[in-house]
Structure 1
Amino acid sequence: MPLEVTGLKEMATKIKKIEAVMKSAKISEKALRAGAEILRDEVKRRAPRSKGGSKHAADHVIISAVVEGKIAVGFIPDNWYMKYHEWGTSKMTPQPFLEPAFNAKRKEIQQAMYNVYVRELAKI
């Protein structure tokens, strides 16, 4: 009894489309940005605030452009001193907020990035 297989061309076409989605720089950037926005919001929430009511570094958390498949969430250059809050100095104990923000939202960030790919794959 001979075996007949149909639909291989359609399946190969669909696999090529899936591969194109997974390798797409535009979609990768969209996924990175979705995750970065969640992290930015959490960093803003956790960032130390001055008691004097002046400008807060939390109001200046930015998301960089995607460069070589990487994106950064941090502060504008004027807030360079925030690293001292995170790591401390010889005279100041650390008050970390960046790493705890990432650790608290890691799964949510991954899920948001995953959802971007799922939405794009559903369009095929």
Structure 2
Amino acid sequence: MGAEITFSGMDELLRRLEQLGEQSETVKKKALEEGAEVIRAEIESNAKRSNINHEHMADGIITNIKDDVAVIGPGAEFYYSHFLEFGTSKMAAQPFMGPSFERKKEEAKEKMAEVIRRELGL
């Protein structure tokens, strides 16, 4: 399951960013990192934790950024997160990633716009 943030109403800001040339890639990456952090932190705060003393899935929520795309979620060692998010034939879904994204996507968008404005000196 993938989810996306679509930028609308930011045409002028993005146009000005593109005028920076090569520097625009650095600014875009910084904006993406800071926006992704908003969602990563929300997923972490909503990931289940047991009372057993070991590493929890919440401790392993990571962000991978490549080619203007941020992938946020538990690391590979927490493969069972898929079962929690979507359920199984024997267990109801207990989603925490999708709802976290939905709650914070607008805040992440605003954070990204803030970074772009700051970097453009606006």
- Indicate whether the TM-score tops 0.5: yes
- Larger helix fraction of residues: 1
Establish whether residue 24 from structure 1 lines up as the match of residue 28 from structure 2.
Answer: no
Percent identity, aligned pairs only, is: 33
Aligned to 1:82: 81
Does the residue aligned with 2:42 lie in a helix, a strand or coil? helix
| Aligned residues: CA RMSD | 2.3
In the TM superposition, residue 51 of structure 1 has moved relative to its aligned partner by 3.4
Contact kept, 8 Å, 1:18 with 1:121, in 2: the verdict is no
Could you tell me which amino acid in structure 1 is paired with residue 111 of structure 2? A
Contact kept, 8 Å, 2:17 with 2:24, in 1: the verdict is no
Aligned to 2:10: none
Write out the 4+ residue segments of structure 1 that deviate beyond 4 Å after TM superposition: 15-18
In the TM superposition, residue 92 of structure 1 has moved relative to its aligned partner by 0.6
With the length of structure 2 as denominator, give the TM-score of the two structures. Answer: 0.79
With the length of structure 1 as denominator, give the TM-score of the two structures. Answer: 0.78
Could you tell me which amino acid in structure 1 is paired with residue 66 of structure 2? V
Q: Deviations over 1:69-123 (max 9, x none)?
A: 1111111111111011000000010000001001111111011000011001117
Does the residue aligned with 2:27 lie in a helix, a strand or coil? helix
Could you tell me which amino acid in structure 2 is paired with residue 46 of structure 1? N
- Larger strand fraction of residues: 2
Distance 1:17 1:78, change over 3 A: closer
In the TM superposition, residue 19 of structure 1 has moved relative to its aligned partner by 1.5
Paired positions, count: 108
2 CA distance for matches of 1:17 and 1:108?
20
1 CA distance for matches of 2:19 and 2:42?
33
Q: Which runs of 5+ in 2 are unaligned?
A: 1-14
Does the residue aligned with 1:111 lie in a helix, a strand or coil? helix
Aligned to 2:3: none
1 CA distance for matches of 2:75 and 2:18?
37
